[in-house]
Amino acid sequence: MELITAIVLTLMLAVLIHFGFQAWKKRMLSKMMARHMKPGLFTLNEYEEYARKHLPRHIFSYFTDGAGDQSTMRRNKAAFNRYYLQQRVLTDIGTPDLSTTVLGNKVAIPLGFSPVLRKNWAWKKGDLCSAEAAGKHGICDVVPVYSESSMEEIAACNPQGLRWLQIYICKDESIMAALVRRAEAAGYKAIVVSIDCHWKRFVYSDWKNMIFKYLIKTSHGNFNGENFIKAYSQNVAERASWKSITRLTQMTKLPIVVKGVMSADDAVLAAQCGVKGVIVSNHGGRMMESLPASIEVLNEVVTAVRDKLEVYIDGGVRSGTDIIKALALGAKACFIGRPVLYGLCFKGEEGVSQILSLLREDLERVMLCTGCASVTGITPSVIRDRHAPRSSSNVDCKCFLSPASHE
Active site residue ranges: 283
| Angle formed at CA 159 by CA 153 and CA 161, multiple of 5 degrees | 115
At 94, phi and psi to the nearest 5?
-85, -120
- Give the number of other CB atoms < 10 A from CB of residue 233: 10
Residues contacting residue 249 through CB under 8 Å, at least 6 positions apart = 256, 273, 274, 275
Where is 347: in which H helix or E strand? helix 338-370
Provide CB contacts within 8 A for 377, sequence distance 6+: none
Query: Can you state the angle between helices 242-251 and 173-185, rounded to 10 degrees?
Result: 40
- Give the span between the Cα atoms of 102 and 110, in whole angstroms: 8
Count, residues in the chain: 407
- Partners of residue 314 on adjacent β-strands: 335
Distance CA 33, CA 366 (A): 25
**Angstrom distance (rounded) from CA 331 to CA 110:** 9
Compute the distance between CA of residue 309 and CA of residue 270 in angstroms, rounded to an integer: 9
- Buried residues in 52-64 as b, exposed as e (16+ CB within 10 A): eeebeebbbbbbb
Neighbours of 79 (CB within 10 A): 20
Beta bridge partners of 163: 141
